[in-house]
């Protein structure tokens, strides 16, 4: 709104000026130098890219966090491949991410599309739906830690004590927290679908469900990929939930990769091994991001710009 | 003649205006008419959202002695604010102000670094700025967990361990990729003509940034503010690993410590969770439109 209002006078001004001066100077003049990007790039490089490289380096060392790292060659990586907890953790991370994706996408997509309509009470309900997102992951984990307590809680049995119970609890708590956010994303996406499409479909005799599968879903494909990227990256950060809710337990049944890394590094002070776990996390995440960047709107963002 | 031309437009615009305005509205209703199944689903989710919140509020008002006997779904027999008192007298204000310092600093750093970066990416099309943009494109998927060990080494070498800066700097760095992407998306919408006009006026790139780009990119900038503030507010891993003492302890870590401090005093624990939510809930009530609008834009692209 404000954009349109503010654009108008400047545009008029441009028309006025053009008559007086030739326009061809404008192409070069007033472009910022690429060096403007330097502070941001350096900052990000120092705190994110350098540490990634450092993680790879540390994975070839033995380091207790106090002295200096001692190179040990491939020891940590060999240990990683032989560690049954690592295999279990990797599998668990994948299954948890997949289960969270299904749970959150199905509900957020349906809620988002519903909330984009114009039913009565929709605004009020959407406002309430959003409330869980306002609590931090830590607060939410503590809330469910209390509510799932076998003595105090809503369900009077030891949910977190069983493998499936603990796993489902993490999926549910993650969903409870993040579905509001993804609902919002889908609501934004669904609002941008042109009404004409639905009108045309209705004229062709398409019913509500046909319209959903033939128009809404295909039109939301970019939103789905964006939301998926955020979900997948986000589910790698279920660390707080796991740490507070289950401490990786029962046994090691909910020890996802970040938790395993935290234990190796900051519980047993085996930072070399922790770095090997971290490096595999970086490799997986980078591979994932390369794939997803190709699939998402982020990728189109760049190509549109280049085409300008 | 002047009389005619003046009188004609209102009549002209009035009549056709009726249909285009009305028709889409009717069409919207007709294409997205109430869907009872979806409405029921939305109601079920509402219950799922509200039960834990209700149980939390009700339990936080229950006396510690009665907490283990009753069902948290029952309203407390004689509500008490004792639990809130317990939490507030165990250094809650200090945690809150630390978190506020972190959030404000993170937002400041992210804006100061991301805006020029996005500006260059959009305005300058040489390979350096392109490379910079690609760096951040890849950075979106780097999980903070993956670099926490080397960051720990870095923070220790910089002599920042156990300070608020140890939390602020990495948090800001990890908020940057998404911020840069959102800003690049917004800044691209500023028309090239406007820049040309300002260039003809002899405006420097810096003046264009502050007088043209920033005012026109308000939407994207507020999304970035909200996004990075939420990240700073919710951050847990960096404070957990880079701080130790009470001095630089932030809210999330404080909550985590309450778990052991209050032990079985679950009502006090829940009171601390409620208190931790109040500041951001207040912001939500005041700035709901901006907040939701800003975050909605994330998926719009």
DSSP collapsed to 3 states, chain A: CHHHHHHHHHHHHHHHHHHHCCCHHHHCCCCCCHHHHHHHHHHHHHHHHHHHHHHHHHCCEECCCCCCCEECCCHHHHHHHHCHHHHHHHHHHHHHHHHHHHHHHHHHHHHHHHHHCCCCCHHHHHHHHCHHHHCCHHHHHHHHHHHCCCCCCCCCCCHHHCHHHHHHHHHHHHHHHHHHHHHHHHHHHHHCCCHHHHHHHHHCCCCHHHHHHHHHHHHCHHHHHHHHHHHHHHHCCCHHHHHHHCCCCCCCCCCCHHHHHHHHHHCCCCHHHHHHHHHHHHHHHHHHHHHHHHHCHHHHHHHHHHCC
Residues of A in Cβ contact (< 8 Å) with B31: 195, 198-199, 201-202, 211
CB burial class (10 A; 0-12, 13-18, 19+) of residue B36? Answer: exposed
**B46 in A contact zone (CB under 8 Å):** yes
Contact B132 A11 (CB under 8 A): no
Residue B225 pLDDT more than 70? yes
**Range B128-138 average pLDDT:** 82
Instruction: Name the residue among B30, B145, B153 with its Cβ closest to that of A54.
Output: B153
What confidence score (pLDDT) does residue A2 get? 36
Residues of A in Cβ contact (< 8 Å) with B99: none
What confidence score (pLDDT) does residue A96 get? 92
* Contact criterion met (CB below 8 Å) for A159 and A84: no
For A221-244, what is each residue's pLDDT tens digit?
888 888 887 888 777 778 889 999
* Contact criterion met (CB below 8 Å) for B209 and B118: no
For A125-154, what is each residue's pLDDT tens digit?
888 888 898 899 999 999 999 888 877 777
For A190-230, what is each residue's pLDDT tens digit?
988 888 998 899 888 888 888 899 999 999 988 888 888 78
**A151 in B contact zone (CB under 8 Å):** yes
Residues of B in Cβ contact (< 8 Å) with A147: 52, 55-56, 72
Closest approach of B7 to chain A, Cα-based (Å) = 26
Least confident segment among B7-16, B85-94, B150-159, B285-294: B7-16
For B37-70, what is each residue's pLDDT tens digit?
888 888 899 999 999 999 899 888 887 666 655 5
Instruction: Name the residue among A30, A55, A274 with its Cβ closest to that of B198.
Output: A30
**A36 in B contact zone (CB under 8 Å):** yes
What confidence score (pLDDT) does residue B251 get? 94
Q: What's the pLDDT band for B2 if we cut at 50, 70, 90?
A: very low
Residue B27 pLDDT more than 50? no
> CA-nearest residue of chain A to B273?
A139
What confidence score (pLDDT) does residue A24 get? 44
Contact B45 A46 (CB under 8 A): no
Instruction: Name the residue among B34, B169, B218 with its Cβ closest to that of A2.
Output: B218
Instruction: Name the residue among B49, B128, B195 with its Cβ closest to that of A30.
Output: B195
Closest approach of A271 to chain B, Cα-based (Å) = 7
Instruction: Name the residue among A6, A188, A198 with its Cβ closest to that of B300.
Output: A188
Residues of A in Cβ contact (< 8 Å) with B299: 184-186, 188-189, 223, 226-227
Q: Which of residues 196-215 of A touch B (CB under 8 A)?
A: 198-199, 201-202, 208, 211
What confidence score (pLDDT) does residue A108 get? 94
Q: Which of residues 66-105 of A touch B (CB under 8 A)?
A: none
Least confident segment among A281-285, B44-48, B274-278: A281-285
**Range B258-284 average pLDDT:** 87
For A115-129, what is each residue's pLDDT tens digit?
888 777 777 888 888
Closest approach of A179 to chain B, Cα-based (Å) = 10
Q: What's the pLDDT band for A42 if we cut at 50, 70, 90?
A: very high
> CA-nearest residue of chain A to B179?
A40
> CA-nearest residue of chain A to B111?
A40
pTM over 0.90? The answer is no
For B94-115, what is each residue's pLDDT tens digit?
999 999 999 999 999 999 999 9
- Average of per-residue pLDDT values in chain B: 81
What confidence score (pLDDT) does residue B108 get? 97
More confident residue, B260 or A62: A62
Residue A301 pLDDT more than 60? no
* Contact criterion met (CB below 8 Å) for A148 and A155: yes
CA B96 to chain centre: 17
Q: What's the pLDDT band for A34 if we cut at 50, 70, 90?
A: confident
Residue A38 pLDDT more than 50? yes
**B263 in A contact zone (CB under 8 Å):** no
Number of other CB atoms surrounding residue A91 within 10 Å: 10
For A70-96, what is each residue's pLDDT tens digit?
899 899 999 999 999 888 998 998 899
What confidence score (pLDDT) does residue B260 get? 84
């Amino acid at each position: 709104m404000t954009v349109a209002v503010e654009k108008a006078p400047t545009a008029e001004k441009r028309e006025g000026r053009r008559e007086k001066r030739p326009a061809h100077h404008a192409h070069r003049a007033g472009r910022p130098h690429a060096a403007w990007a330097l502070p941001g790039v350096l900052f990000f490089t120092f705190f994110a890219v350098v540490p990634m490289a450092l993680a790879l380096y540390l994975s070839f060392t033995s380091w207790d966090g106090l002295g200096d790292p001692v190179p040990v060659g491939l020891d940590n990586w060999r240990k990683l491949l032989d560690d049954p907890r690592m295999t279990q953790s990797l599998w668990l991370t994948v299954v948890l991410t997949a289960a969270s994706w299904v749970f959150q996408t199905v509900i957020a997509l349906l809620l988002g599309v519903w909330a984009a309509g114009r039913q009565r009470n929709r605004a009020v309900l959407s406002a309430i739906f959003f409330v869980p997102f306002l609590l931090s992951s830590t607060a939410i984990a503590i809330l469910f830690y209390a509510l799932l307590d076998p003595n105090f809680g809503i369900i009077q049995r030891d949910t977190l004590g069983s493998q499936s119970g603990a796993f489902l609890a993490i999926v549910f708590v993650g969903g409870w927290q993040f579905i509001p956010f993804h609902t919002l994303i889908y609501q934004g996406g669904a609002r941008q679908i042109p009404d004409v499409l639905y009108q045309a479909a209705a004229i062709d005799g398409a019913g509500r469900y046909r319209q959903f599968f033939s128009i809404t879903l295909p039109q939301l494909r970019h939103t789905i990929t964006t939301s998926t990227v955020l979900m997948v990256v986000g589910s790698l950060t279920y660390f707080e939930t796991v740490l507070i809710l289950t401490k990786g337990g029962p046994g090691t049944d909910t020890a996802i990769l970040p938790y395993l890394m935290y234990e190796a590094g900051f519980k047993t002070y085996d930072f070399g091994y922790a770095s090997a776990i971290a490096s595999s996390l970086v490799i997986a995440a980078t591979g994932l991001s390369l794939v997803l960047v190709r699939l998402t709107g982020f990728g189109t963002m760049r190509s549109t710009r280049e085409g300008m | 003649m002047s009389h005619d031309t003046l009188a004609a437009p209102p009549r002209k615009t009035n009549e056709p205006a009726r249909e285009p305005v009305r028709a889409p509205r009717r069409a919207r209703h007709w294409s997205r008419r109430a869907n009872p199944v979806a409405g029921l689903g939305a109601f079920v989710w509402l219950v799922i959202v509200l039960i834990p919140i209700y149980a939390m509020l009700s339990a936080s008002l229950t006396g510690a002695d009665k907490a283990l006997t009753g069902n948290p779904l029952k309203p407390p027999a004689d509500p008490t604010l004792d639990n809130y008192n317990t939490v507030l007298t165990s250094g809650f204000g200090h945690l809150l102000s630390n978190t506020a310092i972190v959030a404000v600093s993170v937002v400041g750093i992210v804006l100061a670094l991301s805006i020029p970066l996005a500006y260059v990416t959009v305005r300058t099309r040489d390979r350096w700025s392109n490379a910079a943009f690609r760096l951040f494109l890849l950075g979106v998927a780097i999980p903070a967990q993956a670099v926490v060990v080397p960051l720990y080494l870095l923070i220790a070498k910089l002599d920042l361990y156990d300070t608020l800066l140890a939390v602020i700097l990495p948090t800001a760095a990890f908020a940057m990729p998404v911020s840069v992407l959102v800003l690049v998306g917004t800044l691209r919408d500023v028309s090239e003509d406007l820049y040309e006009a300002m260039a003809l006026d002899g405006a420097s790139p810096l003046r264009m940034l502050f007088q043209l780009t920033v005012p026109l990119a308000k939407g994207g900038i507020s999304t970035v503010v909200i996004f990075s503030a939420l990240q700073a507010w919710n951050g847990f891993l960096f404070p957990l690993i880079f701080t130790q003492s009470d001095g630089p302890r932030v809210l999330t870590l404080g909550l985590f410590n309450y778990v052991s401090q209050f032990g079985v005093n679950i009502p006090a624990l829940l009171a601390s969770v409620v208190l931790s939510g109040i500041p951001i809930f207040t912001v939500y009530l005041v700035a709901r439109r901006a907040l939701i609008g800003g975050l909605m834009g994330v998926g719009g692209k």
